[in-house]
Structure 1
Amino acid sequence: MPTAKFVVADPKNGKCYQIEADNTPLVGKKIGEIFDGKIIGLEGYKLQIRGGTDSSGFPMRPDIHGSRKVRVLLSAPPGFKPRKKGERRRKTVRGNTIASDIVQINVKVVEYGEKTIPELLGLEGGSEEQ
């Protein structure tokens, strides 16, 4: 059972939470899709996939289809941050589809449940991660 780190961004308070969970139910989903938070233990929440990283550290890009690794000429993030105006560089990046070798998945809360995220994760003392 492949596990992944889910980095859950909460736009209301600007905090992020790390959750380790099974990513098998999300295999085949793409960046921008919304899924039920019950999959990772956030009952009542709806989460949107915003990106991720594979086991080698290559970032996912929303404009590359599939789950393959490709070398593309980039001029903007994600995957490359230009230092000068007009700079471009060939970099290896992942496609926009989640595969079993994606180890970090970045998600954003789009619909809230009854309980707060720290309550659901057992972080009542306010020791949020990241």
Structure 2
Amino acid sequence: MSNPKSRWILWAAYAVLFLALPYVTQPIFKLVGDCGFGWILLIFYLALPLLGLGCGVADGIVNGWSLWWLIAPVVLFIPHFFLAMDAAADLSIHWDEFVLFAGIYVGFAFIPNLIAGLIRNSSQRSRAQS
């Protein structure tokens, strides 16, 4: 049985962590010497996709699959696109980066959520039949 409260808690945690992680950790890693640029790339290429993977799988196992995981990573990346990547300077250059990152985040959140949700549904059907 799906628990809507757990779904909302998981979605809220994902949204807060997705939006806050790059900005909260950046001052700590500016001491590295490259103004934190390497750390920001690590956050955008590794931490945020893994966050989507973990939350998407957890939501899929507990509540089944949801289209939210297809839309949310793209919507949540928009502030990062304009603030962290400074895309407001020249939008014509950065749209390919937006599509790349959004595709990575959707791929790491929606596909695992879909697979976990389908496994959950098939296991519930097999339990109901027996």
Normalising by structure 1, we get a TM-score of 0.29
More strand by share: 1
Tell me which structure has the larger Cα radius of gyration: 2
**TM-score, structure 2 normalization:** 0.29
